[in-house]
Amino acid sequence: MNKKKLVFSGVQPTGNLHLGNYLGALKNFVSLQKEMDCIYCVVDLHAITTFQNPNQLRNNVLETVASFLATGLNPSKSIIFNQSAVSGHTELAWILNCISRIGWLSRMTQFKDKAGSDKEKASVGLYIYPNLMAADILLYKATHVPVGADQKQHLELSRDIAQKFNNDFNCKDFFPLPEPLIPKNVSRVMSLRDGNKKMSKSEESDYSRINLKDSADEIYKKIKKAKSDSDQIPDNLKDLEKKPEALNLINIYSEISKSTLEKVLNEMSGKEYAFLKRKLAELLINEIEPVGKEIKKLLVDKSHLESILKKGKEKANIIAEENLKNIREKVGLI
């Protein structure tokens, strides 16, 4: 049995990564890279479950790689590649389509959200998206999966699929049951305009999010205009929880300043939100502006980014093929 810890995570190439992706995923990826073997995959096949403009998709994959590098992922330590380059993902996804149950998929809340009111018109790919995600993880027999809280249900499905495969083919412990690594506070960085919605690249107003490529001036303006509260900053979490926009700003501040919510409230209670916003903007500019500049710099040399993907693909493919050989054998495929 393979007891070695192995991290796998996937990021959709949406382009325009924002503070939510940075605090909820990328920063965590970088710290995991120091402790364990890690595989970070740009999941282009997941992206096309909803229509993508081909040129934009190509650019977005490269921009996601640039964002990985700019935040500190090191391609000689971690494997960085794009999903479609390793065909084992789709092969295993097919096998897992036959393990996973329709009833399991029909409970996935993200499908319900994404498909909207007319489910008949959603792509079949969108429906079986979680099986592909299970394939991503199990193809490498990954043990730990850093994801946002919104992916918890998909990860539980991956565990169910792994367990059913191990049972059906009578190979206990063949697939390790992957464990989610969900960051505590930061798993939900909310929109700067509506504290009940996640920060998202699809929200119409650009003022709802801090993009990694925003200039210092844009960061400053967005934080200044962010919704907060007309009362002063309270001294306890309970009062704050009733004010989602204010809580969100304090949450972001505590993450960026590496402090706890309690400590931030101790420091700030009784002050106006304008005071918090000035300090927050300063910290964000210090941390995000250099990342954005680096992303832009990296994007100038596309062939460099492509060569990183190619090397990553070669490394990933070796592990994938080795595991697939055993998987095919278990299933009885010649």
- By CB under 6 A, name the binding residues for ligand TRP: 8-10, 12, 43, 46, 133, 136-137, 145, 147, 151, 154
Report, in Å, the least distance between residue 10 CB and ligand TRP. 3
Which of the residues are catalytic?
114, 198, 201
The nearest distance, CB 272 to ligand TRP, in angstroms, is 36
Can you give the three-state secondary structure of the chain, one letter per residue? Answer: CCCCCEEEEEECCCCCCEHHHHHHHHHHHHHHHHHCEEEEEECHHHHCCCCCCHHHHHHHHHHHHHHHHHHCCCCCCCEEEEHHHCCHHHHHHHHHHCCCCHHHHCCCHHHHHHHCCCHHHCCHHHHHHHHHHHHHHHHCCCCEEECCHHHHHHHHHHHHHHHHHHHHCCCCCCCCCCEEECCCHHHCCECCCCCCCECCCCCCCHHHCCECCCCHHHHHHHHHHCCCCCCCCCCCHHHHHCCHHHHHHHHHHHHHCCCCHHHHHHHHCCCCHHHHHHHHHHHHHHHHHHHHHHHHHHHHCHHHHHHHHHHHHHHHHHHHHHHHHHHHHHHCCC
Residue number with CB closer to ligand TRP (145 or 252): 145
* C-beta of 37 vs 136, nearer to ligand TRP: 136
154 vs 243 by CB, closer to ligand TRP: 154
Q: How far is the CB of 43 from ligand TRP (least distance, A)?
A: 4
Task: Please say which residue, 114 or 221, places its beta carbon nearer to ligand TRP.
Answer: 114
Q: Which is nearer to ligand TRP, 9 or 60 (CB)?
A: 9
| Shortest distance in whole angstroms from residue 8 CB to ligand TRP | 6
CB of 292 to ligand TRP, least distance (A): 22
